[in-house]
Each structure stands twice: as C-alpha cells, then as structure tokens.
C-alpha cells in the first residue's frame, strides 16, 4: 500500500520507496503544474474502480469537464460513440444519435442570447435509400387515460411577442428552397405566404402556374389560376365538372368595364359583351280593384298627357340603366275606342316632357273605324343612358280626334269580371343595336 507520493522538480514521481509511480499496470507521469491550477496526465488515464456505489464520477459545484483541441471524449470503447471538439464545435460521431430517454428533454437556455440549432450536411446525392435531414418519429397510443381535454402536439413552437420595434421582418416559420418561389413563410402577424415572403393577406399563394388545385382524385379536380395580367380562371375537370353557387345572401357580379359574356366553349352566344340583354330591369302592373264606376278606365285627352289612373297611379316604370345604356320601354294594355285613333309617347317627366320626336307616335298607334276593343302593344327604345343610374319613364297618350276612347284595366265595377292589367316593362338591350330605314 502506498502511503506517500514524492514529487521532485524535474523528476518522475516516486512512491515512498522511491519507485516510479504506477497507475494501472504501466508507468505514467503525473504532473502538477508549477503555475495555475490543475493537474495533467501524460498518456491515458483509466478509472477502473468505483468512485461511488453507483459508479459515478461527481464534480464539485462549479467543476467542468473541458475537451480542448482536436480531442475526443468517448462514450464507450474507443472507436465507438464519441463527442469531438475542435475548439469551436461539439460533434456527435457519424452514424450515432443524440437521444433522450422517456420523460427526458433537451433544453437550451441563453437568456436574451439566441441559441440556434444548425444542421449542416454534405451535398446529397441520389440513392436507393430514403434520405432525411430532420426526422421525427413517434408512436401514439392515447386510448387510455385521456380525459377529453388532453392535447398532444407533434411539434409545438410558441413565440411570445412583447416588443418588435426595430425588426423589419419577424417570422414564426420560414422554410426556403433557395428562392422565393420555393418558400413557405408564416410571419409574426399570422399571415402565410407560399412562394412569397411578404404576404399581403392571411394567405397568399404566388406562382406562375395554377396557384391552387382542389382535388377529389386524379381525374376530378378544380384549378384556380391568376395570370400575369390579373386574369382569374376557375377551371374544373371531371365526370360532372359543374360549378354551383349556393349563397345564403346575395350573389353580386360586378364588371368595371361593363362587359358580360356568355359562352359555350369558346363561342360567345350572347350579344357581344352583353349577356344581360333581355333582362327585365323594371316592371309595373296596374289593375283596378275598385267597384266605383269609372275607376277601371283611363280616358286620354286631345292634348298629350301622362296616363294616370282614377286612383292617381302613373303609368310609368322605374329601372336602373344597364352597362350598354340602352333600354326598351314597352306597354301592353286593353284599348276601347269608337272610331278614334290613339297616340302614345315616352316622357321623362310626370308632367309630360317629350324625350325626342321619334319617341312620340303622334301619327297614331291605335285606330278604330267603329266600336272596337283590342290589346295594344307599343314600345320605345331609349339609348344613351348612364349605366348604373336610376331612371323613371312615363307613358303619355292623346286622342287625335275628340271622341270616346279608354284604356281599361282590372275590375269592371261591382261585377266579378276583369279587364287585362296595364303592363309596363323596361328591358335591357345590348351595346350594339342594328338599325335600318
């Protein structure tokens, strides 16, 4: 048993019998530095005995194990798992893994100093095996013990934002393939960009081909594409590639240039840029329901006057001008006359104001050579209106010869018989109207 170890300057350490000090079975040197603190072992230091009952080596509070230079700290036999230090980086040997046992965690704290995790690999080449840079594997068995409010996160990153002053860009996630076109970014404000790093909305998809494709399977899908001029295309493909709009509210279709086009394939079948042509813009139905004598008739005068019922209802129609600015105003009514001719005209005022002489049919629109009752249809074309503006147009009438004539409508006094109602309509016309003479 060695009771003493003798140290002499410049000499090999000796035991109490002045024999060289042996650690293990070989001669080694144990040196205590003359300056500074520490001890140095020249050669290998192998601990074969138990330091404590658990076989642990315990460092006092504040103690460190320092690997300096190009040195390895083996975790098993030499040549197996090791940590390598080149003075800057700590390396886990190739083919090995950093593992935490069940219930453990890998925690890095640095206060206000960021602690990045950098994974730098060599250039990847094609191989028959599946290659991965980051790989998470877990098996979930949550059938037991769950209380209905348990939550499991496969990957959970929680960023608390207290003061972003001075930061130009802050991202919750940023994955890039080397350029913006191959970028997936989630900014600090929650906006998501695919193919773009500064999304302007909650989700922005940037690309030069179909930006969004919704698929049932490989044969049934829809693609949404925005072209470089802003043209939006919704294209469907499938065995029944219909498009259905089912709205609880309004369906609002607005065109700034006023062109509305209907096609079958690439063939436009609506009047050029005027798919709204034929749309009823305004509709008036006048029908007497009074039993008072004379209330079922409007009697024109010799002077052109706006037609008005005995109850004070004007024969007119209100409408909003279509994109073309062209509208047809028509009236259908039952006319009774006894050898009389009726004239009709279009007015832009309830006091009668002739729109144009071509809209005043003062040569006669309805004539009778004896007592007649006929259904009379008369129409006017009003052009040059301002699209989107509301208008009202009135129907005026006059007798060319003083006599007896009447426009009849609705209930005929106390009896249960009726005349046809007076119908006035405003109908949208296309941008181009073919004319002739």
What is the 3-class SS of the chain, one letter each residue? CCCCEECCCCCCCEECCCCECEECCEECEEEECCCCCCEEEECCCCCCCCCCCCCCCCCCCCCCCCCCCCEEEECCCCCCCEEEECCCCEEECCCCCCCCCCCCCCCCCCCCCCCCCCCCCCCCCCCCCCCCCCCCCCCCCCCCCCCCCCCCCCCCCCCCCCCCCCCCCCEEEEEECCCHHHEEEEECCCCEEECCCCCCCCEEECCCCCCEEEEEECCEEEEEEECCCCCEEEEEECCCCCCCCCCCCCCCCCCCCCCECCEECCEECCCCCECCCCCEEEEEEECCCCCCCCCCEECCECCCEECECCCCCECEEEEECCCCCCEEEEEEEEEEEECCEEEEEEECCCCCCECCHHHEEEEEEEECCCEEEEEEEEEEEECCCCCCCEEEEEEEEEECCCCCEEEECEECCCCCCEECCEEEEEEECCCCCCCCC
- Residue 339, Ramachandran bin (φ over 0: left; ψ between -120 and 50: alpha; else beta): left
pLDDT of residue 413: 80
CA gap 345, 352 in Å, rounded:
9
Domain regions of the chain by residue span: 1-43, 67-91, 170-205, 208-238, 280-428
pLDDT of residue 96: 60
pLDDT of residue 34: 44
CA gap 264, 314 in Å, rounded:
43
**Residue 45 has which token pair?**
């230091």
Within a 10 A sphere around the Cβ of 195, how many other Cβ atoms? 18
pLDDT of residue 29: 47
CA gap 335, 69 in Å, rounded:
114
pLDDT of residue 33: 43
CA gap 340, 369 in Å, rounded:
7
Tens digit of each residue's pLDDT, the chain (437 residues): 555 555 555 555 555 555 555 544 444 444 444 444 555 555 555 555 445 665 566 656 666 666 565 666 665 555 555 555 555 555 666 656 666 566 566 665 555 555 556 655 556 666 556 666 777 777 777 666 666 677 778 888 888 888 878 888 888 888 888 887 889 999 988 999 999 988 999 999 988 888 889 999 999 999 999 998 988 889 999 999 998 989 999 988 888 888 888 888 889 888 888 999 999 999 999 999 999 988 999 999 889 999 999 999 999 999 999 999 999 999 999 999 887 888 999 999 999 999 988 898 888 878 777 778 889 999 999 999 999 999 999 999 998 776 678 999 999 987 789 999 999 999 999 999 998 89
Half-sphere exposure of 312 (CA within 13 A, CB side): 0
Q: What is the architecture, at CATH level 2, of domain 280-428?
A: Sandwich (2.60)
Of 291, 326, 319, the residue nearest 394 (C-alpha): 319
Half-sphere exposure of 230 (CA within 13 A, CB side): 0
pTM value is 0.62
Judged on CB neighbours under 10 Å (0-12, 13-18, 19+), 342 is buried
Within a 10 A sphere around the Cβ of 58, how many other Cβ atoms? 8
CA gap 265, 262 in Å, rounded:
10
Contact 370, 408 (CB under 8 A): no
CA gap 396, 181 in Å, rounded:
67
């Amino acid at each position: 048993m060695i009771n003493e170890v003798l140290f002499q300057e410049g000499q090999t350490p000796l035991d109490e019998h002045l024999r060289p000090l042996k650690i293990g079975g070989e001669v080694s040197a144990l040196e205590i530095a003359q300056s500074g603190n520490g001890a140095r072992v020249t050669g290998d230091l192998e601990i074969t005995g138990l330091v404590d009952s658990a076989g642990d080596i315990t460092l006092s509070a504040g103690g460190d194990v320092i690997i300096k230079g190009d040195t390895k700290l083996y975790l098993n036999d030499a040549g197996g798992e090791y940590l390598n230090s080149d003075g800057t980086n700590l390396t886990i040997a190739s083919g090995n893994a950093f593992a935490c046992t069940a219930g453990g965690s890998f925690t890095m704290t640095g206060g206000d100093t960021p602690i990045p995790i950098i994974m730098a690999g060599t250039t990847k080449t094609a191989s028959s095996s599946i290659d991965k840079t980051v790989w998470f594997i877990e098996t979930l068995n949550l059938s037991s013990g769950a209380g209905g409010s348990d939550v499991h996160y496969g990957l959970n990153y929680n960023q608390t934002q207290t003061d972003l002053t001075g930061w130009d860009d802050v991202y919750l996630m940023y994955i890039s393939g080397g350029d913006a076109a191959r970028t997936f970014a989630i900014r600090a404000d929650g906006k998501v960009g695919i193919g773009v790093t500064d999304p302007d909305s909650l989700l922005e998809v940037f690309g030069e081909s179909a930006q969004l494709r919704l698929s049932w399977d490989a044969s049934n899908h829809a693609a949404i594409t925005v072209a470089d001029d802003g043209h939006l295309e919704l294209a469907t493909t499938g065995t029944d590639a219909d498009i259905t709009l089912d709205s609880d509210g309004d369906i609002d279709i607005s065109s700034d240039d006023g062109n509305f086009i209907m096609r079958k394939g690439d063939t436009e079948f609506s009047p050029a840029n005027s798919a709204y042509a034929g749309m009823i813009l305004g509709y008036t139905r006048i029908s007497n329901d009074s039993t008072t004598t004379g209330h079922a008739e409007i009697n024109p005068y010799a002077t052109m006057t706006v037609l008005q019922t005995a109850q004070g209802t004007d024969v007119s129609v209100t409408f909003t001008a279509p994109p073309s600015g062209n509208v047809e105003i028509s009236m259908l009514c039952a006319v009774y006359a006894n050898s009389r001719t009726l004239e009709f005209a279009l007015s832009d005022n309830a006091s009668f104001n002739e729109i144009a002489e071509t809209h005043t049919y003062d040569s006669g629109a309805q004539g009778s050579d004896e007592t007649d009752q006929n259904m009379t249809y008369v129409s006017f074309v009003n052009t040059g209106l301002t699209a989107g503006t509301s208008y009202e147009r009135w129907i005026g009438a006059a007798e060319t010869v003083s006599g007896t004539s009447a426009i009849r409508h609705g209930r005929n006094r106390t009896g249960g018989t009726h005349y046809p109602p007076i119908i006035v309509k405003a109908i949208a016309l296309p941008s181009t109207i073919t004319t002739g003479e």
